[in-house]
Chain A
Amino acid sequence: MGFFGKMLEGIRKTKDNLSKKLYYAFSARALDDEFYDSLEEALLAGDVGVAASTEIVDDLRNRVYERRIKKPDDAKELLKEILVESVEYEVEPYSYPLVVLLSGVNGVGKTTAIGKLARLFTEQGKSVVVAAADTFRAAASEQLEVWGKRAGVRVVRHNEGADPAAVVFDAISSAKAKGTDVILVDTAGRLHNKKNLMEELKKICRVVERELPEADFRKFLVLDATTGQNGVQQAEVFSEAIDLDGIILTKLDGTAKGGVVMAISVELELPVLYVGVGEKIDDLIPFDAHDFVDALV
Chain B
Amino acid sequence: MSVFENLADRMNHIFSKLRNKGKLTELEIKQAMREIRVALLEADVNYAVVKDFVAAVSEKALGEDILKSLTPAQQIVKIVNDELVALMGSTHRKLAVSDRPPTVYMMCGLQGAGKTTMCGKLALYLKKQGKKPLLVACDVYRPAAIQQLQIVGKKVGVEVYEAGQGDPVKIAAAGIAHALKNGFDPVIIDTAGRLHIDEKLMKELIDVKREVKPAEILLVVDSMTGQDAVTVADTFNKTLDVTGVIMTKLDGDTRGGAALSIRAVTGKPIKFSGTGEKPEDLEPFHPERMASRILGMGDVLTLIEKAEQAFSKEQAEKLQKKLRENTFTLEDYLEQLDSVKKMGGLGSMMQLVPGLAGKMGKQEIDEEKIMRSKVIIQSMTPKERRNPDIIKGSRRKRIAQGSGTSIQEVNQLLKQFEMTRAMMSRMQKGGMKGLRGMKGMPPGGFPF
Contact = CB atoms under 8 A, between A and B. Distances in A.
A233 B361 contact: yes
B253 A230 contact: yes
A6 B144 CA distance: 27
B226 A229 contact: yes
Interface residues of A, number: 54
Given A107-B114, A191-B249, A228-B258, A146 B227 contact: no
A46 B228 CA distance: 8
A254 interface: yes
A256 B147 contact: no
B147 A228 contact: no
B413 interface: no
Contact of A232 (B1, B48, B111, B147): B1
Nearest to B147: A139
Contacts of A44: 41, 47, 227
A13 interface: yes
B151 A139 contact: yes
Interface string A98-122: 0000000111110000000000000
Contacts of B229: 226, 228
Interface residues of B, number: 56
B152 A108 contact: no
B147 A255 contact: no
B362 A228 contact: no
A226 B366 contact: no
A146 B144 contact: yes
Interface stretch (A47-55, A73-81, A168-176, A179-187): A47-55
Given A105-B249, A105-B252, A255-B232, A50 B144 contact: no
Interface in A70-106: 105-106
Given A106-B277, A142-B144, A256 B228 contact: yes
Nearest to B51: A41
B127 interface: no
Given A191-B252, A254-B195, A255-B232, A138 B1 contact: no
B253 A143 contact: no
Nearest to A111: B143
Interface of B: 1-2, 38, 41-44, 46-48, 110-114, 116, 141-145, 147-148, 150-152, 155, 195-197, 222, 224-232, 249, 251-255, 257-258, 277, 347, 351, 358, 360-362, 366
Interface string A133-165: 000111110110111000000000000100000
B253 A195 contact: no
A100 B361 CA distance: 24
B151 A138 contact: yes
Which 6 A-B pairs have CB atoms at the shortest separation, nearest pair first?
A228-B226, A107-B112, A228-B44, A146-B143, A138-B151, A256-B228
Nearest to B41: A50
B47 A45 contact: yes
Contacts of B141: 279
A143 B144 contact: yes
A136 B251 CA distance: 17
Contacts of A283: none
Contacts of B227: 44-47, 228, 256
A146 B144 CA distance: 8
Contact of A50 (B42, B142, B195): B42
A219 interface: no
Contacts of A51: 1-2
A31 B34 CA distance: 23
Given A107-B112, A193-B252, A228-B229, 13 more contacts: A46-B227, A47-B226, A47-B228, A51-B1, A108-B112, A136-B277, A138-B155, A142-B147, A160-B151, A193-B251, A226-B225, A254-B232, A256-B227
A47 B261 CA distance: 14
- Please indicate which of the listed interface residues B46, B148, B227 has the most CB atoms of chain A within 10 Å of its own CB: B227
Contact of A143 (B38, B44, B143, B347): B143
Nearest to A227: B224
B228 A193 contact: no
Contacts of A218: none
Contacts of A255: 195-197, 228, 231-232
B143 A142 contact: yes
- Please indicate which of the listed interface residues B41, B114, B222, B232 has the most CB atoms of chain A within 10 Å of its own CB: B222
- Please indicate which of the listed interface residues A14, A41, A50, A259 has the most CB atoms of chain B within 10 Å of its own CB: A50
Contacts of A228: 44, 224-227, 229, 254, 257-258
B192 to A, nearest CB: 10
A16 B265 CA distance: 13
Contacts of A13: 197
